[in-house]
């Protein structure tokens, strides 16, 4: 399984994560799925309304619905959820695992362990964690 992330989208996500720090930023990825590969075509930032946005994310419901409708109008699918870890590696935190609402959708995490940005994509299926190749 793989997540195809074009260079310009990758750069734009890294910039968004940098600007949002020290809070986690979050949003939705729209695109298409072909076989085992998810092709990201756009990302839509969603306000993080968590009470402690430095360590977790919770997407604003209204903005999330608006983004999903916009994807539908553009005839693309919701193919991923992204968020940032301003001070740690791009691996799902215990909170991410516990609060993962959409188990069929890939999770893209932008991490900043040792200040170096690093992206990783995951599928969180209950207790099973699958690493997706980023291509």
- Catalog residues that contact Zn ion under the rule CB under 5 A: 93, 96
> Minimum Å distance from CB 48 to Zn ion?
11
* Residue (67 or 83) nearer to Zn ion, CB: 83
- Residue 16 appears among annotated catalytic residues: no
* Residue (77 or 96) nearer to Zn ion, CB: 96
How many angstroms separate the CA atoms of 41 and 3, rounded? 11
Report the 10 Å Cβ neighbour count for 32: 14
Residue whose C-alpha is closest to residue 121's, from 76, 85, 80: 80
State the residue for tokens 């699918």: 77
> Minimum Å distance from CB 98 to Zn ion?
11
> Minimum Å distance from CB 75 to Zn ion?
30
Terminal CA-CA length for the chain: 10
Measured at CB, which residue is nearest to Zn ion?
Answer: 96
**81 upstream amide cis, omega within 30 of 0:** no
* Catalytic residue of the set 11, 16, 24, 99: 24
* Residue (39 or 112) nearer to Zn ion, CB: 112
Residues with catalytic annotation?
Answer: 24
């Amino acid at each position: 399984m793989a997540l195809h992330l074009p260079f310009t989208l990758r750069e734009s996500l890294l910039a968004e994560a940098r600007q949002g720090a020290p809070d986690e930023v979050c949003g939705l990825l729209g695109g298409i799925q072909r076989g085992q590969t998810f092709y990201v075509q756009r990302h839509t930032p969603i306000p993080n309304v968590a009470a402690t946005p430095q360590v977790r994310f919770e997407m604003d419901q209204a903005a999330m619905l608006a983004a999903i409708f916009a994807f539908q109008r553009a005839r693309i699918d919701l193919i991923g959820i992204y968020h940032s870890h301003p001070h740690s590696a791009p691996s799902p935190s215990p909170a991410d695992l516990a609060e993962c609402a959409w188990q069929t959708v890939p999770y893209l995490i932008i991490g900043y362990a040792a200040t170096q940005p690093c992206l990783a994509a995951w599928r969180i299926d209950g207790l099973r964690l699958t690493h997706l190749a980023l291509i």
